[in-house]
Amino acid sequence: MTRATGDDALVRSRHDLVVAALEEDVGEGDWTTLWTIPATAEARAVIVAKMPLVVAGTACVEEVFRQVDPDLTVETEVADGVDAEVGDVLFRLSGRTHSILVGERTALNFLGRLAGIATQARRYVAAVEGTGAQVIDTRKTTPGWRLLEKEAVRAAGAANHRMGLYDMVLVKDNHADACGGVAAAARAAVTRNDRGIPVEVEVRSLEELEAVLPVGVDRILLDNMPPEVLQRAVSRVDEWAGSAQPGAPQRPRPELEASGNVTLASVRTVALTGVDFISVGALTHSAPVADVSLRMVT
């Protein structure tokens, strides 16, 4: 089967996840709604923010209600990436009461999860403002939800690292240990890279950094290094890139990424060391769910 890419993959993922979520929640039927609300009843409802948040997942909300009932009217009031305050109306819905109630929890689950990620990511982005470093995510995502969660990260102004194992090489400690060392693993990846995809290598010390520099990788991940060591690593890479013989072309400077136990309290200190990227698994794996609610209106 051919892998869908880009927007096509995102649309397919969103559709399939909504199908599965509705099947999980509705099952054979929403008996509460069926037995308490007349089938012909119609209503209007709003989805509101119950906390300050960054909106994300609006397309998922629209997809939920589209699958439940294409005749429902769903108006998105606040776009992805926009800040919302307590009480702000994010969506307006009108149509069959049954349809609104059937889709309610599934829509809120998508919205809460994805807005939670965007809200978390925005805090990290704000913390490094003006430093020149960019906050990026990792592959520490909910299985099956990766494309949606990474879209939420982008909505907040952060950026994506690789999407999966297929679109970027990242030589990590286990690869290096199994291949006879980090330099050997890096060299093997660069030599065999017939796809032209970026090659990144994780190093755990300044000694490993020194061994990797001559290999010519695109990015070096500085793993679990304290700020003072990160600063030394940045200085060494800058020196190496500018130290070609007189008249020789300047060496390409690999991008530098800091990673490992970065928190909201420490991210700015890390950014000020001069690294280009800071990868933060907490953007996705530890983001609290945003508090949102659906209310019927008269």
Under 8 Å between Cβ of 290 and 39: no
Residue 4's contacts (CB-CB under 8 Å, 6 or more residues apart) are: 12
Active site residue 202: yes
Using CA atoms, how far apart are residues 159 and 125, in angstroms rounded to an integer? 10
Instruction: Write out the E strands in 183-298.
Output: 199-203, 219-223, 255-259, 277-279, 292-297
Active-site annotation holder among 202, 208, 257, 276: 202
Q: What is the spatial distance between Cα 206 and Cα 187, in angstroms, rounded to a whole number?
A: 18
Q: Which of 57, 66, 137 is nearest to 90 (CA)?
A: 57
Check 123, 139, 140, 232 and give the catalytic one. Answer: 140
123 is catalytic: no
CA distance 77 to 36: 30
Q: Which of 139, 154, 172, 236 is catalytic?
A: 172
The neighbour count for residue 192, using CB atoms within 10 Å, is 10
Let me know: does 278 contact 257? Beta carbons within 8 Å. yes
Backbone φ and ψ of 43, nearest 5°? -150, 170
Catalytic residue among 105, 232, 251, 268: 105
Query: Do strands 199-203 and 169-171 pair parallel, antiparallel, or not at all (unpaired)?
Result: parallel
Tell me whether residue 172 is one of the annotated catalytic residues.
yes
What gap in Å lies between CA 127 and CA 147, rounded to an integer? 25
Judge whether 105 counts as a catalytic residue.
yes
85 is a catalytic site residue:
no
Q: Which residues are catalytic?
A: 105, 140, 172, 202, 223
